[in-house]
């Protein structure tokens, strides 16, 4: 198949590269010519393990290229995927569809022959119907179908998720569109990956409902963690005991400083807004959002209580991205915690394996260091904020030697309390 991928952000770039690895001819399109030049030079603008090598292999095989010429890419395509951003709209929390609709108008003007226009971006229920209406209005003679194909990629494990998915969800309205989408995903069918065909609205809703449920698990266990601290229970044992129940499962039951990233915050807010618009308030989701913000503030209080008076204290922050194995800083807990420390007069020293390029302009007033030991030099306290592998096995003797103080706040519960206490640290955890 010939595929045009409109948008080379996280979803578009990963999807386009993986589709080319399936054997399809893929052209990734972006109006940002600087980004296209970087991609043509083999420079991947995001950090995702394995993506650069996969891209190079498929470019070399002639199955993958990059362009800013949307019209030419669309005209040659059997399927056009819209993978542009849908950020939270200011004021009302809804998903901003400006980029989706702008791409739709450009696609309509370039359609030739039968084409399936596939929405890969996360969009509110009813968006695909609106896309179809706009295509018909702009290009009344065009031969097309619209499909909804939401993504379920975890940053840091996106290639594995694309190649070995739990399921592929495709919303369609015609047999022709189904045939095209089945052909595109045939390599996964041969591996017995579940491919679920639904109507358009159900495909749109599955994405939001899935992310909201996972966010709910995170907020739930973070509230349980706060209760554990009051009653003397251990949230790690509670999580393990809960997760052994097959009806619940162990994933997303790890207490911490709250969820962040490009999906959960945006999608929970959008789902809450959809419910309000249709007079069906999503009260659980609305509470999940409130709890997550409260968790971040509670982490600030926890650190302040540990420090006593933050002013004049030197604090090392280990990890600022919202999760390990990504450079994504969007909605990261660090964006709440670090500014609070800086604002209270603390000297904040930061290290993160991939977060500096984004973090330098998002976290003013901090100093950046190459590793945990450099960041902790002369520190009164260390705050472990993102569970990168290199922070999971610190040399505690060396760490204690370079620090001035003895306090550690492990906000990911990586270390055992007795392990740190035996090494001379005063330990603060979550739950």
- Binding-site positions read 30, 35, 86, 122, 152-155, 207, 252-256, 260, 266, 323, 330
Give the list of residues 6+ apart from residue 105 with CB closer than 8 angstroms, or none: 134, 138
For residues 338 and 363, is the Cβ–Cβ distance under 8 A? yes
Report how far apart, in Å, the C-alpha atoms of 111 and of each of 75, 107, 357 are: 5, 6, 38
- Binding-site positions for NAD(+) read 30, 35, 86, 122, 155, 266, 330
Query: Could you write out the DSSP letters of every residue in 126-179?
Result: THHHHHHHHHHHH-TT--EEEEE----PPTTSHHHHHHS-S-EEEE-SSHHHHH
Quote the tokens at residue 32: 């940002």
Residues 18, 28, 228, 263: which is the catalytic one? Answer: 263
Query: Could you write out the DSSP letters of every residue in 358-414?
Result: HHHHHSTT-EE-SSHHHHTTT-SEEEE-S--GGGTT--HHHHHHH-SS-EEEETT--
Cβ neighbours of 265 (radius 10 Å): 22
Beta bridge partners of 349: 316, 367
φ, ψ for residue 369, nearest 5 deg: -135, 160
- Binding-site positions for substrate read 152-155, 207, 252-256, 260, 323
Give the list of residues 6+ apart from residue 276 with CB closer than 8 angstroms, or none: none
263 catalytic per annotation: yes
Answer left, alpha or beta for residue 153, where phi above 0 means left and psi between -120 and 50 means alpha. beta
Report how far apart, in Å, the C-alpha atoms of 226 and of each of 85, 214, 233, 244, 252 are: 35, 19, 10, 21, 16
CA angle 93, 332, 126 (to 5 degrees): 30
For residues 349 and 369, is the Cβ–Cβ distance under 8 A? yes
Cite the DSSP H helix spans in 24-86: 33-40, 51-60, 70-75
The residues carrying an active-site annotation are 263
């Amino acid at each position: 198949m010939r595929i045009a991928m409109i948008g080379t952000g996280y979803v578009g770039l990963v999807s386009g590269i993986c589709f080319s690895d399936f054997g399809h001819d893929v052209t990734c399109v972006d109006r940002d010519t600087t980004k296209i030049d970087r991609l043509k030079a083999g420079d991947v603008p995001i950090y995702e393990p394995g993506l650069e090598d996969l891209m190079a292999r498929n470019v070399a095989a002639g199955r993958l290229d990059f362009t800013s010429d949307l019209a030419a890419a669309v005209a040659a395509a059997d399927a056009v995927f819209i993978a542009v951003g849908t950020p939270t709209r200011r004021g009302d929390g809804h998903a901003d569809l400006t980029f989706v609709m702008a791409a739709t108008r450009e696609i309509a003007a370039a359609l030739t022959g039968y084409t399936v226009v596939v929405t890969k971006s996360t969009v509110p229920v009813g968006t695909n119907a609106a896309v179809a209406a706009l295509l018909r209005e702009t290009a009344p003679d065009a031969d097309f179908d619209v499909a909804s194909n939401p993504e379920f990629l975890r940053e840091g494990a996106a290639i594995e998720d694309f190649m070995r998915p739990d399921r592929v969800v495709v919303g369609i309205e015609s047999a022709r569109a189904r045939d095209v989408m089945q052909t595109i995903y045939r390599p996964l069918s041969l591996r017995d990956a579940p491919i679920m065909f639904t109507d358009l609205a159900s495909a749109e809703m599955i994405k939001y409902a899935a992310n909201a449920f996972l966010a709910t698990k995170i907020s739930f266990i973070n509230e349980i963690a706060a209760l554990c601290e009051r009653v003397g229970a251990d949230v790690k044992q509670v999580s393990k005991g809960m997760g052994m129940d097959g009806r619940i499962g162990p994933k997303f039951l790890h207490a911490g400083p709250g969820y962040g990233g490009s999906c959960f915050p945006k999608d929970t807010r959008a789902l809450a807004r959809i419910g309000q618009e249709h007079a069906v308030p999503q009260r659980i989701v609305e509470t999940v959002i409130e709890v997550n913000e409260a968790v971040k503030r509670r982490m600030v209080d926890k650190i302040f209580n540990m420090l006593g008076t933050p002013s004049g204290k030197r604090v090392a922050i280990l990890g600022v991205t919202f999760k390990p194995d990504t450079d994504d800083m969007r909605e990261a807990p660090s964006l709440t915690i670090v500014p609070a420390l800086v604002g209270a007069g603390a000297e904040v020293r930061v290290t993160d394996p991939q977060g500096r390029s984004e973090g330098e302009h998002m976290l003013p007033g901090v100093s950046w260091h190459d590793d945990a030991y450099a960041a902790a030099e002369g520190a009164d306290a260390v705050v472990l904020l993102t569970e990168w592998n290199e922070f999971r096995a610190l040399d505690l003797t060396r760490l204690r030697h370079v620090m001035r103080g003895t306090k550690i706040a492990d906000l990911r519960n990586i270390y055992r309390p007795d392990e740190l206490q035996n090494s001379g640290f005063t330990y603060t955890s979550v739950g």
